[in-house]
Amino acid sequence: MSYSDSDIYLNEQDVIMIMDVNKDTNTDKNKNKNKEKEKEKEKKEKKKDEKNGEDRVIVLDATAFYAGIPLLSSSRYYTTTAILNEVRHIKQDIGAIDLLVELGNLTVLDPDQEYVEDARSYAEELGEHDALSDADISLIALALMLQRSYEVTIVTDDYSIANVASAIGLSISNIINKGIRYIGSWIRYCKICRVTYSDSSKVCKICGSVLKYRLIRVKRVSK
């Protein structure tokens, strides 16, 4: 079979058509590549979020249970025996909390003694030791202990707990209150003698008057 020149060579319209087909094909390929990249990016972000979730724990104060905050199954929650006993004393019926423990949504864990002592030391430095109960101290101590392995957030509306925890460098999440704005140190002073005390004295050693309390702002809490 023989071909003429007109059979062999493409005219201008044919060339344009071929170019358009190639252009559409390349566009489709680029779109598919972009979709694959987006999917890969989404997978990486998902894995990153899952990993961050594994490294993050939430420590609950009694006020969190009183407020009845929802415990999301995707988060890891902790509290101490002392806090749970405090809640039981007030609420009497804590069947829902016991169920959360059984289901593994809430872990009751008591801190080692060394962290309890550290928590008391921090409280004394800030003049908060009289304001914090043993249960409060156990909560701060637990957060300190968990901080070795996790990113810890304490859920509380208690100013003294928030004050000590913020000074240590722990994150605070508030329930109802706006939250702590300044880390402060409490001092005792005699209004008559104008003498301050950094120890646990409750009366003036000079005149015997009952000491007053004053909060000295140390630094602003960054949000």
Average pLDDT over residues 182-209: 74
% of the chain exceeding 70 in pLDDT? 60
Question: How confident is the model at residue 6, as a pLDDT?
Answer: 47
Of 13-17, 82-86, 126-130, the range with the lowest mean pLDDT is 13-17
DSSP 176: S
Amino acid in position 35: K
Nearest to 221 by CA among 177, 188, 185, 172: 172
pLDDT for position 197? 73
Confidence of residue 50 (pLDDT cuts 50, 70, 90): very low
pLDDT confidence band for 79 (50 / 70 / 90): very high
Mean pLDDT value across the chain: 76
Digit-coded pLDDT (tens) for 133-145: 999 999 999 999 9
Bigger pLDDT: 12 vs 122: 122
pLDDT of residue 53 exceeding 60, the answer is no
pTM above 0.75, yes or no: no
Q: Once rounded to an integer, what is the mean pLDDT over residues 118-129?
A: 88
Of the given ranges (127-131, 149-153, 180-184), which has the lowest mean pLDDT? Answer: 180-184
Return the biggest CA–CA distance within the chain: 126
Alpha helices in the chain (DSSP H): 5-8, 12-54, 62-67, 81-91, 95-103, 113-125, 134-146, 159-168
> What confidence tens digit (pLDDT) does each residue in 151-169 have?
999 999 888 898 899 888 8
